[in-house]
Amino acid sequence: MKRYSHPRIKPPFFKNPLLFCICVFSVCSVKAQNTDIPIETQNTALVLQTDRNNGPHIVYFGKKLKNKSEYDLVQSMYEQNMDYTGIANSPYTPAGSRNLFEPAIEVTHADGNNSLDLKFISAKTEKISDDISLTSVLLKDPVYDFQVTLFYKIYFKENVVEQWSEIKNNEKGNVTLHKFASANLYLQGKSFYLKQYHGDWAQEMHPEEEQITHGIKTLDSKLGTRADLFQPPVFMVSVNQSSNEDNGEVLLGSVEWSGNYRTDLELDNKNNLRIISGINNYASDYPLEPGKIFTTAKFLYTVSYSGTGDASRQLQRWARDYKLLDGNGSRLTLLNNWESTYFNFDEEKLKQLFNDTKKLGVNLFLLDDGWFGNKYPRNNDRAGLGDWQENKKKIPNGIASLIKEANADGVQFGIWLEPEMVNPKSELYEKHPDWVIRQPKRPEYYFRNQLELDLSNPKVQDFVFGVIDSLFIKNPGLAYIKWDCNAVIYNAYHSYENNQSKLYVDYVQGLYSVLKHIRAKYPTVPMMLCSGGGGRVDYGALQYFTEYWPSDNTDPLERIFIQWEYSYFYPAIASSNHVTDWGQQPLKYRVDVAMMGKLGFDIPVSKLSEKDLAFCQSAVKIYNSFKNIVWHGDQYRLQSPWTNDVAAIIYVDSTKSSAVVFNYLVNNRYNTGSALPVHFKGLDANRKYKIKEINLYPGTHSTLKENAIYSGDFLMTVGFNPGVNADRPSVVLMVEEVD
């Protein structure tokens, strides 16, 4: 059966090439019945079309067609079940009228009526740069004075789309938003496969993949803060068959929101997949006053027809160019003291650590948790959070003098903060109990002995901004911030607002307003996004941060898996990888794994043997020589740790003239190793490359032929054997073009 029985009028948009050109190169506005709105990237197209009643539909979502006029023919090729609603493929499904599926938006109007219908009014496309354009589509309810504008921001070359909506109440009284998704996609295919992630502390990014069955699969968080602890917002959907690195049609998606999110994947009666994603509406009925606009979070996705590797490179490139703070810049290597001292340090110890930082040859010393609180000193995690004054016993001369000392050693100084939180044992809690998220009539319940401050309250926002601001005012030499967030929200209640349903959304808005304020005043200072490990890694936050902390689990074997999975969604330059004492692997293995991102150390340097220290010192120098390839190059996953004895990853610079290859033994059974060559990717088949093993442990020698030369063709077709085995469990190769 044909999906639309409505007669179609050929839209002027495609018929008239001149009109199309005008639209592409300037602001284009279309107002017509039976309008086609193609939203195209370099390789993909999402085509909206209105029916004769001005109802909007997604009529195509797939590979871009050469001839735009053929989008009109797509639906005539489908003979699927009946769409009883006529709006199953709505680009923003309204609840309460004809809809029978999961809605994108659900409201109660000012008069108490629950129905919503959304009709197409107009659309326009604005060209923002050579690469970016923004299409907005205005929809209105024909009965109620209520409108939604859908936004599609296109990153053409990267095949990335950001979608969000603005919901406007023009009615005379308050409207309540019960659901307010960012985006509503509609995919047609034989079958769909969902790769999703789950985890817990130190177990981030565990993947699971399954074929999507009928009904709804929901990925969500209700944790409030540290929202990704059990389930991060990233996912992949493959069409027709499960994708692999180099093959398959795959969508990588995520919500840009640092709180409760929700993604529903609904396989409908026509066997089509509806993806509805955005802020979680859980406990969050949101009031919208007359004349006010609610802007949803952004839903982000990229689509590739050449597998997950290509999709991830698109996303990584997009993040570096457009989202991550200073995504194409440089990063500081560092020594962190968390695992070498925990809360137990003083000025003497810190001076020694500055010296160790210098000895290692890294850029910065990062002072972690435990430096603050006096009435309730932060000597463990049960007290002091909120009291951001230097602890007089531990650092009597203050941060300023620490910075001076560190700088005298040629080392920069950074500091840990957890400014959204409070311990009940703190002066802040005593002074401002009304600033704390807690149920007034119920006992408090703690996560790591702490509670959240109510960031929906502007006074609390000012306080949190003030914590950072006064640190910088007093200590202009401060070079780095690690921003932690260790608790989830229990007992969600804020005394600032009567309407408790606003808390989860307003908290995140409050957090963003603080971060915006910080970035307006301190635009470049590097900041690490940390949340008891990777409890808050998302692009809503990462636009304010230069890097994130993937996990407290720094066992290198574990990290290979964790970093592998994160890398589908986030670029290596953002991944903070520290060498610690976790795990059973040799020091070289730990360092090699940490090099696949932003290298740091968190080990007692003074206790290293002479050889270990010499190795670390030389490793830092070697890392500095190739870090730009890892940070700014293209990453190709060569052999997965999930299915191979040896995991391998290559980073190739943009000119394809140099690359670094990391190879790791991930199975310790008898006689395992690189029996077969590893097939390289991303090189130029017509060029010649010299291969050299680097980062060897002192006193060891490479078993590989020194500086052997191969063509790119050979390396990518036959491959190269890195000689990984139990004696050489990690091998790093430098690949350089030769004439």
Report in angstroms how near the CB of residue 48 gets to ligand DGJ at its nearest. 43
Report in angstroms how near the CB of residue 391 gets to ligand DGJ at its nearest. 15
First to last CA, the chain: 62
Report in angstroms how near the CB of residue 531 gets to ligand DGJ at its nearest. 7
CB-CB contact of 121 with 92 (8 Å) = no
Residue in the block written with tokens 């033994």: 665
368: contact with ligand DGJ by CB under 6 A: yes
582: contact with ligand DGJ by CB under 6 A: no
The residue range among 109-117, 263-271, 525-533, 632-640 that interacts with ligand DGJ, by the rule CB under 6 A, is: 525-533
83: contact with ligand DGJ by CB under 6 A: no
423: contact with ligand DGJ by CB under 6 A: no
Radius of gyration of the chain (CA): 27
Q: Which are the contacts of 525, defined by CB distance < 8 A and separation ≥ 6? A: 472, 478, 479, 480, 481
Kindly report the backbone phi and psi dihedral angles of residue 181, in degrees, each rounded to the nearest multiple of 5, phi listed first. -65, 160
Beta-sheet strand order (sheet of 364-367): 547-548, 527-529, 480-483, 412-417, 364-367, 334-336, 598-601, 576-579
Cα 616–Cα 316–Cα 575 angle in degrees, nearest 5: 30
Cβ proximity to ligand DGJ: between 320 and 578 the closer is: 578
528: contact with ligand DGJ by CB under 6 A: no
506: contact with ligand DGJ by CB under 6 A: no
Cβ proximity to ligand DGJ: between 338 and 496 the closer is: 338
369: contact with ligand DGJ by CB under 6 A: yes
# chain residues binding ligand DGJ, by CB under 6 A: 11
Cβ proximity to ligand DGJ: between 380 and 500 the closer is: 380
Report in angstroms how near the CB of residue 342 gets to ligand DGJ at its nearest. 8
552: contact with ligand DGJ by CB under 6 A: yes
CB-CB contact of 284 with 259 (8 Å) = no
Q: Which are the contacts of 605, defined by CB distance < 8 A and separation ≥ 6? A: 335, 340, 353, 356, 357, 359, 360, 613, 616
Q: Where are the beta strands (DSSP E) in 257-346?
A: 261-267, 273-279, 286-288, 293-295, 298-304, 334-336
533: contact with ligand DGJ by CB under 6 A: yes
Cβ proximity to ligand DGJ: between 72 and 484 the closer is: 484
Report in angstroms how near the CB of residue 416 gets to ligand DGJ at its nearest. 6
545: contact with ligand DGJ by CB under 6 A: no
Q: Which are the contacts of 127, defined by CB distance < 8 A and separation ≥ 6? A: 24, 25, 26, 27, 133
Q: Where are the beta strands (DSSP E) in 158-226?
A: 160-169, 175-187, 192-198, 206-211, 215-220
682: contact with ligand DGJ by CB under 6 A: no
Question: From the list 36, 204, 228, 484, which residue makes contact with ligand DGJ (rule: CB under 6 A)?
Answer: 484
The residue range among 65-73, 158-166, 529-537, 569-577 that interacts with ligand DGJ, by the rule CB under 6 A, is: 529-537
Query: Parallel, antiparallel, or unpaired: how do β-strands 598-601 and 334-336 relate?
Result: parallel
Cβ proximity to ligand DGJ: between 75 and 531 the closer is: 531
Cβ proximity to ligand DGJ: between 503 and 530 the closer is: 530
Report in angstroms how near the CB of residue 163 gets to ligand DGJ at its nearest. 32
489: contact with ligand DGJ by CB under 6 A: no
The DSSP H or E segment spanning 592 is: helix 587-594
530: contact with ligand DGJ by CB under 6 A: yes
Cβ proximity to ligand DGJ: between 338 and 544 the closer is: 338
Q: Where are the beta strands (DSSP E) in 429-587?
A: 451-452, 480-483, 527-529, 547-548, 576-579
Q: Tell me the two tokens of residue 206.
A: 């565990």
The residue range among 50-58, 163-171, 527-535, 695-703 that interacts with ligand DGJ, by the rule CB under 6 A, is: 527-535
Q: Tell me the two tokens of residue 639.
A: 């052999």
Cβ proximity to ligand DGJ: between 165 and 337 the closer is: 337
Q: Which of 541, 540, 595 is nearest to 573 (CA)?
A: 595
Question: From the list 151, 197, 496, 549, which residue makes contact with ligand DGJ (rule: CB under 6 A)?
Answer: 549
Q: Tell me the two tokens of residue 37.
A: 């709105």
The site string for ligand DGJ over 253-292 (x = CB under 6 A, - otherwise) reads ----------------------------------------
Report in angstroms how near the CB of residue 326 gets to ligand DGJ at its nearest. 22
Which position's Cβ is nearest ligand DGJ? 369
Report in angstroms how near the CB of residue 482 gets to ligand DGJ at its nearest. 6
Q: Which are the contacts of 154, defined by CB distance < 8 A and separation ≥ 6? A: 39, 40, 41, 132, 133, 134, 135, 160, 161
Report in angstroms how near the CB of residue 534 gets to ligand DGJ at its nearest. 8
Cβ proximity to ligand DGJ: between 533 and 673 the closer is: 533
Cβ proximity to ligand DGJ: between 151 and 429 the closer is: 429
338: contact with ligand DGJ by CB under 6 A: yes
Cβ proximity to ligand DGJ: between 164 and 549 the closer is: 549
CB-CB contact of 647 with 664 (8 Å) = yes
Residue in the block written with tokens 């592998």: 564
The residue range among 291-299, 495-503, 506-514, 526-534 that interacts with ligand DGJ, by the rule CB under 6 A, is: 526-534
The DSSP secondary structure of 211-271, one letter per residue, reads EPPSEEEEEE---SSSTTSS--S-EEEEESS---SSSBEEEEEEEE-SS-EEEEEEE-TTS
Report in angstroms how near the CB of residue 9 gets to ligand DGJ at its nearest. 59
Question: Residues 444-468, buried b or exposed e (16+ Cβ, 10 A)?
Answer: eeebbbbbbbbbbbeebbebbbebb
Return the HEC string of 116-147. Answer: CCCEEEEEEEEECCCCEEEEEEEEECCCCCEE
Q: Which of 258, 182, 233, 296 is nearest to 510 (CA)?
A: 258
Beta-sheet strand order (sheet of 708-711): 634-639, 646-652, 658-665, 730-738, 688-694, 708-711
Report in angstroms how near the CB of residue 368 gets to ligand DGJ at its nearest. 5
Question: From the list 125, 135, 281, 486, which residue makes contact with ligand DGJ (rule: CB under 6 A)?
Answer: 486
416: contact with ligand DGJ by CB under 6 A: yes
Report in angstroms how near the CB of residue 548 gets to ligand DGJ at its nearest. 11
Q: Which of 125, 110, 116, 253 is nearest to 569 (CA)?
A: 253
Report in angstroms how near the CB of residue 426 gets to ligand DGJ at its nearest. 15
Report in angstroms how near the CB of residue 228 gets to ligand DGJ at its nearest. 13
532: contact with ligand DGJ by CB under 6 A: yes
117: contact with ligand DGJ by CB under 6 A: no
Residues in the site for ligand DGJ, rule: CB under 6 A?
338, 368-369, 416, 484, 486, 530, 532-533, 549, 552
